[in-house]
Amino acid sequence: EVQLLESGGGLVKPGGSLRLSCAASGFTFSNAWMNWVRQAPGKGLEWVGRFKGKADGGAIDYAAPVKDRFTISRDDSKNTLFLQMNSLKIEDTAVYYCTTEGYSEIWGYDFWGQGTVVTVSS
């Protein structure tokens, strides 16, 4: 059974940093394309970034609002995806989800974690 478990969320002041983790199990993590998607309170879904699987070159892409502030990394030996968030802004407040991309289906964000809440406030 595929499972994704995010952790690391919390309350942080503007300008601060936070590191989220997503522990994966039940599938071959090293080859999986992984994404971070966020959802601000009462709002819709926003793509944050993607890390392609090792077999596909491991490229990383970011959404414009987080580029140069957020860094996605992965530890395939520990089946874990990370999101390092620096220079946090109030508008980064959201639930952050990690997802697989096209793992069990030809395409789509087919598995999601339960999300971790990040609150940026003074």
Binding mask 30-49 for another protein (x = CB under 8 A): --------------xxxx--
- Residue 113 in the binding site for another protein (CB under 8 A): yes
- Shortest CA distance to 48 belongs to which of 65, 33, 31? 65
- Residue 109 in the binding site for another protein (CB under 8 A): yes
By the 8 A CB rule, do 99 and 120 touch?
no
One of 17, 31, 114, 121 touching another protein (CB under 8 A): 114
3-state secondary structure 67-93: CCCEEEEEECCCCEEEEEECCCCHHHC
- Residues in touch with another protein (CB under 8 A): 44-47, 50, 61-64, 97, 104-110, 112-115
